[in-house]
Amino acid sequence: MTSARRYRSGTQEVILEEDHRWTLLHVVAAQAAGKLPRPVRMIGFDRHTDANPPGELNWDGTVAGMREVCERQLSRHDDDWIVAGMQLGVLGDVFLFGVDDRMGDLPKAVGGQALMGRWEMPAKVDGLGVRAREVLEWTESPILLDLDLDCFAYPYRDLVWAWSEEMFAVEFGPSLPYFRQWRERAGLVTVCREAGCCGGEENADRIWELVGRYLFEKELH
């Protein structure tokens, strides 16, 4: 079940969910309200690619129908929602930052759409192809900006640690100008909490605080 909490960054709404698959519900609602195009190009930050193929999908094209898809048809592991969104025509090309570089399932074609990604943060990425640059530089219509808090956590042995303030400053500081541009271009900003992938509730809360401070520059209410 959706656990949406709604925040504001200036005039922009930011939706926080616990489980990532529910992002599709909010995207479809925003598309129905004319806030996003369909399909919408997405820029994301996630340690996982969520690129598994979903099972059989039956969607009637409505917001209520997408609620049913998220509730009953998508994986409880939240690892197939991006591909499902692309297959259903909700998501267009997707580019992910921060993906674990051991994952070998990117780039990936889903119909006529492309799912691409790199492990680096934006300021450290170079040598991108034409398709990737087009996604990141697209300005003609609003984009979806999506964050998974586990992008800002790292596994070590059997534990998962949250980024410290110093890591945010060093790892993401140079990327802030890029993030600001995408935030301004976004018709919707969605965030997934996924405390289990962050190393627990305390870590997730800490990362959310730092995301508000560094990425939204203390403007998140």
Whether 52 maps to a domain, the answer reads: yes
d(CA 24, CA 29) in angstroms, rounded, equals 9
What number of other Cβ atoms are within 10 A of residue 80's Cβ? 21
Whether 193 maps to a domain, the answer reads: yes
Whether 169 maps to a domain, the answer reads: yes
Whether 26 maps to a domain, the answer reads: yes
Average pLDDT over residues 172-193: 95
pLDDT over 90 (residue 158): no
Strands (DSSP E) along the chain, which ranges? 5-9, 12-17, 40-45, 91-97, 108-110, 113-118, 143-148, 153-156, 159-162, 186-192
* Residue 137: domain span: 5-214
* Bigger pLDDT: 136 vs 158: 136
d(CA 191, CA 180) in angstroms, rounded, equals 16
Round the CA-based radius of gyration of the chain to a whole number and report it. Answer: 16
Structurally, the chain folds into a number of domains equal to 1
Average pLDDT over residues 147-172: 92
> Which residue(s) pair with 70 in the sheet?
none
pLDDT over 90 (residue 104): no
Please tell me the predicted confidence (pLDDT) of residue 102: 64
Please tell me the predicted confidence (pLDDT) of residue 156: 86
Q: Which band of pLDDT confidence, cut at 50, 70 and 90, is reported for residue 101?
A: low
Q: Which band of pLDDT confidence, cut at 50, 70 and 90, is reported for residue 78?
A: very high
d(CA 105, CA 5) in angstroms, rounded, equals 31
CA atoms 126, 136, 26, 61: torsion sign: negative
Average pLDDT over residues 25-38: 97
The SS3 assignment for 42 reads strand
Tokens of 200: 């627990």
Average pLDDT over residues 113-118: 95
Whether 179 maps to a domain, the answer reads: yes
d(CA 70, CA 205) in angstroms, rounded, equals 24
pLDDT over 80 (residue 221): no
> Which residue(s) pair with 91 in the sheet?
40
Whether 141 maps to a domain, the answer reads: yes
